[in-house]
Structure formats: structure tokens, C-alpha cells
């Protein structure tokens, strides 16, 4: 078996407000292995983002333990490129914060920008770029720190549908190429099936693990867009849809 | 902006550009015409005694007053006194306001404690403090500058504090995922993201500093444009009053233009 990168054991999390205590997560346990893409899917407001914040160490779990073997990179819902910095300065932001700006790390970022088609846009400001390019720049800003595990928190949800398909395909390829492990939070069932090796389905609040799907698709072209043609795709979709039990 | 340099623009586009340009020229011309008509009317109605030039003065007499004052050098002295007081008051208000706003952003506790005091100080008419400043600081420039500071400081603190709070929490979260310290969040995100807020606070501040300085000079002064206005009013020399007001409006406009220029330099990324 591959190396365990993230190990969650009976993780619970409670929010405290003046009105009282809200249970957000309850006894969540699962592992993420090296090179694996794990999707986390669940009803909106169930605490998916909280779970990512716990894995990244931004929040401490109320109970249970979190073990992470490796450096974590975080991708938020929007690209959050700083409007007052050009693409180059944005890409270096994380390195700047961690005071690890060296000739070598700069060269690495420069290489990433060139490799992923932003080399000529180094001196452009974010508002001069398309949504897809901005997302790529945000990804490079994260990759600049050479993380082992990437946490994607609805990272594509701010994009329109076509861009979103294209970008998730692109990000998938980049992450596979750079041999990263990823935990992907999404509310889009198709996106989860097409990108992930496993999908953790969470329940309503307090969220617990309802079911974990191993996604095995028979398709020649193992990319998110290629995968959507796989015969099993619909079965997974229907099964997860039922599991989510959405009532409006 | 418009790619006017490219040789092959369509006829339709050229027409469009021409139309935009014509409109802009028309706006400028009308603005100037309005100014000229205003002063010309003023001059004429005063000259033909339709209104009493003793009460409303007259552009030609204002010009004469300006000449006399500038010949004995006192005009520039008065301008300089008011201008320097305003610049000092404005700079102090902006810098101190910024420092206090940063402290309040830094400490939530401090900000909560300060809140009612800020609200009361903000609604208090600061001019009421004038006599106190005079008693404490004498009749020099100090109480005037303090007045300008008092009027602009609280507004600066409140508007900057609101601006700092409006910075997207997700941007701060992003920095936290990189492991940023509070100081880094301040310098890398809060301050640069607030540059538009800071500029608008500065714009308001300039106006308020003028108000503070002129009120200060009304209360106590030996020189300055505010002094000229009060003095002119007391001896019924409306020429002097109107001239000073005119110079004042030109000065404040120039200062405002300077800030707009600064804004363009600072916010290139817009």
C-alpha cells in the first residue's frame, strides 16, 4: 500500500457562538494515500470547508487526531490574486511570506509560469487576465511552495461552467504531472467522480462519513473530461445522488 | 486606451472616437465659459451699480486688492501661513489617524473599548473645543493646527478602520494558509488593499483641514487667509474678503488636484 499522507481519526469539531454550540463534524475518520485524489462531497453547509481547515491546521479539532505527512498547499474558492500585485509578484507571495525567496525558488516559479503558459503574462495585473488564467496563476502560487498535498476548497466554483470544465481538467493534469496528492472539496458530483480516486460522502450537520466510494472507471483517457464518457460514470452519479439525499 | 495609433481602424470606429472627443471638448469649453460668464456678470452688475459693489465687491477691485497685497509682499505671507498650517494639520491628521486605525485593527479589544468614545468624539462639533485650545496653547499657530487636527482625526480613524475591516477575509485566510504573521497580514494585504480607502480618506481630510485652519484663524490669529477674511469683514472691506475667499478656493482646488495625481500614480493596477 502507498504511504499514508493524511490520517483523520474520529475528528469532531464544534462551533461556539453566544447562541450555543453547534456540532459541525462528528467522528470523521479516513486516510489519504500518496498520489491519490480524494473527493469530499456533501450537502451545502455540512462542514466540508471546516474539514479542510482542520487538515491544513488552520483549525484544531475539538476531539480526535489529525496526522499529516507532508507540506500542505491550499486552494480557496476564488483565486484571490492580489489586484495590486502583478502575476509574478502574486506567484511569489507564499515564498515571500515564508521568507524563502531565493534565486533557486524564483527560478522554479519562473519555470512553472512558463510551463503552464503564463510566462508572457508575468508583468500583467490580475484584472488583465481571463478567469482560467487567473486560476492557473493561483495554482502556481500554491505550487511555488512545493506542497505534497493540495487541498482544493471548491476551487472552481467561482468560474462559469465551460471554464470550470476546462480548468478542472487542466489542474488535474498539472497535479498528476507534479505528482501531488489532493483532497478536493466540491458540491459537484460529476466533478468529484471525474477527478477523484475515492469519494467521501458526508451527511448533513453534524457531518459524519456516510459512505466512501472507490471510483474505478474504464476509460482510455484518464482525464476529468475523458472520464465522463466511462460507462460507470452514471452509476456512480446516481448512487452518490441517492446517498446525498437532497430535498429542496 | 483607444488604439488610435493603429492605422487600420474602421470608419465607424473613427466616427465614434471623434464623437467622444467632441463631447469632451464641449464639456471643457462649457466649464470655462461658465466661469467667464460668472465673473463678467459680476463685474458688469457691480460696475453699473445694479448691486452695491460695497457689499459684493467686484472682480476688477479684487484684482487691484491682490496687486496691492502682493506688492508689499503680505499676500504671500498670508497664503504661506494658512497653507503651512493646513499642510501640517492635514499631515498630522492623516499620519496619527492611520497609526490609531492600525492599532485598532490590530487589537479587537482596544477597538471595542474605543468604540463609544469614537462615536461621541465624532458627533461632537470640534469647533466647541476652540476656546480650550486657545487657553492651553496661546494665540500662535499651535491652536489653529490643533483645530485642523481635531476636525480631521476622528473621521480619518473611523473611515480607515472601516476600510481595513472590509478587506476580504478570504484574502487573509489565504495568507494564513501560507503561515503569515499578523504583521505580514498588515503589510502584505490590509495596507495595500486599503490604498483606495486611504486615498479617499486623504481627500476628505484635505477639505476638513482647510475648514479646521480657517475656523482656527477666525478664532485667533495674527495672519493667514482666515485672518484676512475676518479682518476684512470687521472693517467692511468686502474686496479683501472676496479676494481671500477666491485665493482660498484656488489653493484648495490645487491641493485636491495634487491628490488626484497621487492617486493615479499609486493605483496603477486599476
Nearby residues of A133 by Cβ (< 8 Å), 6 or more positions away:
A117, A118, A121
Determine which of A94-103, A229-238, B48-57, B189-198 has the lowest per-residue pLDDT on average: A229-238
Using a CB–CB cut-off of 8 Å, the residues of A that contact B are 56, 58, 72-74, 76-78, 80, 82-86, 93-94, 96-98, 125-127, 145
Task: For A86, name the nearest residue in chain B, comparing CA atoms only.
Answer: B269
Q: Select, from the ranges A31-35, A45-49, B92-96, the one with the highest average predicted confidence (pLDDT).
A: B92-96
A84 with B177: Cβ contact below 8 A: no
CB-CB neighbours of A232 under 10 Å:
15
Residue labelled with grid coordinates 493667514: B224
Determine which of A33-37, A241-245, B127-131, B235-239 has the lowest per-residue pLDDT on average: A241-245
B180 with A84: Cβ contact below 8 A: no
Asked if A179 and A33 count as a contact pair (C-beta separation under 8 A), the reply is no
Task: For A73, name the nearest residue in chain B, comparing CA atoms only.
Answer: B177
Question: Given A58, A76, A127, which is nearest B170 (Cβ)?
Answer: A76
Q: For residue B270, what pLDDT is reported?
A: 61
> Residue A101: which of A61, A46, A154, A144 has the closest Cα?
A144
Q: Tell me the nearest-neighbour CA distance from B111 into chain A, angstroms.
A: 20
Q: Is the pLDDT of residue B175 over 90?
A: yes
Asked if B86 and B145 count as a contact pair (C-beta separation under 8 A), the reply is no
Chain B residue numbers with beta carbons less than 8 Å from the beta carbon of A56 are: 177
Model-wide pTM > 0.90: no
Q: Is the pLDDT of residue B1 over 60?
A: no
Higher pLDDT, A201 or A232: A201
* Distance between CA atoms of residues A110 and A122, nearest Å: 9
Per 3-state DSSP, chain B is made up of helix, strand and coil in percentages (nearest 5) of: 85, 0, 15
Q: For residue B4, what pLDDT is reported?
A: 47
Q: For residue A248, what pLDDT is reported?
A: 65
Give the model's confidence band at B72: pLDDT under 50 very low, under 70 low, under 90 confident, else very high: confident
Question: Given A58, A72, A78, which is nearest B170 (Cβ)?
Answer: A78
Task: For A95, name the nearest residue in chain B, comparing CA atoms only.
Answer: B178
Q: For residue B34, what pLDDT is reported?
A: 96
* Distance between CA atoms of residues A185 and A6, nearest Å: 15
B178 with A78: Cβ contact below 8 A: no
A97 with B170: Cβ contact below 8 A: no
Mean pLDDT for the stretch of residues A151-169: 83
Q: For residue B191, what pLDDT is reported?
A: 94
Q: Tell me the nearest-neighbour CA distance from B112 into chain A, angstroms.
A: 17
* Distance between CA atoms of residues A74 and A233, nearest Å: 28
Chain A residue numbers with beta carbons less than 8 Å from the beta carbon of B269 are: 83-86, 125-127
Determine which of A202-206, A221-225, A236-240, B261-265 has the lowest per-residue pLDDT on average: A221-225
Question: Given B179, B180, B195, which is nearest A84 (Cβ)?
Answer: B195
* Distance between CA atoms of residues A94 and A113, nearest Å: 15
Q: Is the pLDDT of residue B3 over 50?
A: no
Residue labelled with grid coordinates 458627533: B123
Q: Is the pLDDT of residue B44 over 90?
A: yes
Question: Given B179, B192, B193, which is nearest A97 (Cβ)?
Answer: B179
Determine which of A7-16, A60-69, A217-226, B189-198 has the lowest per-residue pLDDT on average: A217-226
Mean pLDDT for the stretch of residues B60-86: 91
Q: What percent of chain B has pLDDT over 70?
A: 97
Q: For residue A141, what pLDDT is reported?
A: 93
Q: What percent of chain A has pLDDT over 70?
A: 99
Cα end-to-end distance, chain A, whole Å: 41
B177 with A125: Cβ contact below 8 A: no
Chain B residue numbers with beta carbons less than 8 Å from the beta carbon of A82 are: 171, 188-189, 192-193
Give the model's confidence band at A13: pLDDT under 50 very low, under 70 low, under 90 confident, else very high: very high
Question: Given B170, B184, B195, which is nearest A80 (Cβ)?
Answer: B170
Quickly list DSSP for A125-155: -GGGS-HHHHHHHHHHHHHTT--SEEEEEST
Chain A residue numbers with beta carbons less than 8 Å from the beta carbon of B174 are: 74, 76, 80
Mean pLDDT for the stretch of residues B67-72: 89
Mean pLDDT for the stretch of residues A197-205: 88
Q: Is the pLDDT of residue A128 over 50?
A: yes
Question: Given B170, B176, B188, which is nearest A58 (Cβ)?
Answer: B176
Q: Which three cell numbers stand for residue B147?
A: 483645530
Mean pLDDT for the stretch of residues A36-46: 87
Strand partners, A200: A40, A212
A74 with B177: Cβ contact below 8 A: yes
Q: Tell me the nearest-neighbour CA distance from A94 into chain B, angstroms.
A: 6
Maximum distance among all Cα pairs of chain B, rounded to whole angstroms: 76
Give the model's confidence band at A245: pLDDT under 50 very low, under 70 low, under 90 confident, else very high: confident
Task: For A71, name the nearest residue in chain B, comparing CA atoms only.
Answer: B178
Q: Which three cell numbers stand for residue B46?
A: 457691480
Q: Which three cell numbers stand for residue B108?
A: 479587537
Q: For residue A84, what pLDDT is reported?
A: 92
A98 with B177: Cβ contact below 8 A: no
Q: For residue B6, what pLDDT is reported?
A: 53
Q: For residue A101, how far is the Cα from the chain centroid?
A: 25
pLDDT in tens, A185-196: 988 888 888 889
Mean pLDDT for the stretch of residues B129-155: 91
How do A209-214 and A198-202 pair as beta strands? Answer: antiparallel
Q: Work out the angle between the directed axes of helices B74-106 and B238-266 (0-180°, nearest 10).
A: 40
Strand partners, A12: A63
Task: For B168, name the nearest residue in chain A, comparing CA atoms only.
Answer: A80
> Residue B60: which of B242, B249, B252 has the closest Cα?
B242
> Residue A33: which of A207, A161, A214, A192 has the closest Cα?
A214
Question: Given B177, B188, B193, which is nearest A56 (Cβ)?
Answer: B177
Give the model's confidence band at A242: pLDDT under 50 very low, under 70 low, under 90 confident, else very high: confident
* Distance between CA atoms of residues B127 and B114, nearest Å: 22
Q: For residue A117, what pLDDT is reported?
A: 86
Higher pLDDT, B266 or B57: B57
Q: Is the pLDDT of residue B18 over 80?
A: yes
Q: Is A11 helix (H, G, I), strand (E, B) or coil?
A: strand
Q: For residue B2, what pLDDT is reported?
A: 45
- DSSP strands (E only) in A43-137: 63-68, 72-75
Asked if A161 and A122 count as a contact pair (C-beta separation under 8 A), the reply is no
Q: Which three cell numbers stand for residue B157?
A: 480613524
Question: Given B170, B178, B267, which is nearest A94 (Cβ)?
Answer: B178
A80 with B168: Cβ contact below 8 A: yes
A80 with B269: Cβ contact below 8 A: no
A·B CB contacts under 8 A: 52
Q: Is the pLDDT of residue B49 over 90?
A: no
How do A20-33 and A4-17 pair as beta strands? Answer: antiparallel
Amino acid at each position: 500500500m502507498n504511504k499514508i499522507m493524511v490520517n483523520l481519526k474520529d475528528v469532531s469539531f464544534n462551533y461556539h457562538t453566544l447562541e450555543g454550540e453547534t456540532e459541525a463534524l462528528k467522528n470523521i475518520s479516513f486516510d489519504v494515500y500518496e498520489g491519490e485524489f480524494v473527493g469530499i462531497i456533501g450537502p451545502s453547509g455540512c462542514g466540508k470547508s471546516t474539514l479542510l481547515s482542520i487538515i491544513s491546521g488552520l483549525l484544531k479539532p475539538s476531539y480526535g487526531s489529525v496526522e499529516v505527512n507532508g507540506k500542505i498547499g491550499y486552494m480557496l474558492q476564488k483565486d484571490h490574486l492580489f489586484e495590486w500585485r502583478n502575476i509574478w509578484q502574486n506567484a511569489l507571495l507564499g515564498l515571500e511570506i515564508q521568507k524563502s525567496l531565493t534565486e533557486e525558488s524564483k527560478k522554479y516559479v519562473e519555470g512553472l509560469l512558463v510551463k503552464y503558459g503564463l510566462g508572457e503574462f508575468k508583468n500583467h495585473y490580475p484584472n488583465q487576465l481571463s478567469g482560467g488564467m487567473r486560476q492557473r496563476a493561483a495554482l502556481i502560487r500554491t505550487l511555488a511552495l512545493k506542497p505534497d498535498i493540495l487541498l482544493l476548497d471548491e476551487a472552481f466554483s467561482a468560474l462559469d461552467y465551460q471554464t470550470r470544465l476546462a480548468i478542472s481538467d487542466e489542474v488535474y493534469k498539472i497535479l498528476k504531472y507534479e505528482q501531488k496528492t489532493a483532497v478536493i472539496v466540491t458540491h459537484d458530483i460529476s466533478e468529484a467522480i471525474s477527478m477523484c480516486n475515492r469519494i467521501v460522502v458526508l451527511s448533513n450537520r453534524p457531518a459524519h462519513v456516510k459512505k466512501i466510494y472507490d471510483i474505478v472507471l474504464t476509460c482510455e483517457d484518464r482525464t476529468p473530461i475523458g472520464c465522463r464518457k466511462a460507462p460507470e460514470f452514471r452509476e456512480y452519479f446516481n448512487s452518490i445522488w441517492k446517498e446525498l439525499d437532497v430535498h429542496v | 486606451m483607444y488604439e488610435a495609433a493603429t492605422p487600420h481602424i474602421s470608419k465607424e470606429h473613427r466616427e465614434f472616437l471623434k464623437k467622444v472627443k467632441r463631447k469632451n471638448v464641449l464639456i471643457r469649453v462649457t466649464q470655462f465659459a461658465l466661469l467667464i460668464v460668472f465673473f463678467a456678470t459680476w463685474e458688469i452688475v457691480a460696475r453699473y451699480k445694479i448691486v452695491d459693489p460695497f457689499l459684493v465687491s467686484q472682480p476688477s477691485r479684487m484684482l487691484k486688492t491682490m496687486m496691492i497685497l502682493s506688492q508689499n509682499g503680505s499676500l504671500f505671507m498670508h497664503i504661506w501661513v494658512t497653507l503651512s498650517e493646513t499642510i501640517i494639520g492635514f499631515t498630522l491628521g492623516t499620519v496619527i489617524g492611520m497609526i490609531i486605525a492600525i492599532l485598532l485593527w490590530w487589537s479587537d479589544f482596544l477597538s471595542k473599548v474605543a468604540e463609544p468614545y469614537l462615536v461621541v468624539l465624532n458627533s461632537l462639533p470640534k469647533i466647541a473645543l476652540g476656546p480650550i485650545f486657545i487657553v492651553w496653547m496661546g494665540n500662535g499657530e499651535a491652536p489653529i493646527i490643533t483645530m485642523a487636527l481635531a476636525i480631521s482625526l476622528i473621521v480619518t480613524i473611523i473611515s480607515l478602520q472601516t476600510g481595513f475591516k472590509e478587506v476580504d477575509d478570504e484574502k487573509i485566510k489565504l495568507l494564513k494558509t501560507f503561515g503569515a504573521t499578523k504583521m505580514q497580514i498588515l503589510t502584505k494585504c490590509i495596507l495595500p488593499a486599503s490604498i483606495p480607502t486611504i486615498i479617499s480618506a486623504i481627500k476628505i481630510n484635505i477639505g476638513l483641514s482647510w475648514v479646521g485652519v480657517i475656523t482656527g484663524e477666525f478664532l485667533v490669529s495674527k495672519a493667514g487667509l482666515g485672518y484676512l477674511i475676518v479682518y476684512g469683514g470687521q472693517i467692511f472691506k468686502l474686496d479683501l474678503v472676496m479676494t481671500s475667499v477666491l485665493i482660498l478656493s484656488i489653493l484648495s482646488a490645487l491641493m485636491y488636484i495634487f491628490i488626484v495625481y497621487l492617486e493615479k500614480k499609486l493605483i496603477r493596477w486599476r
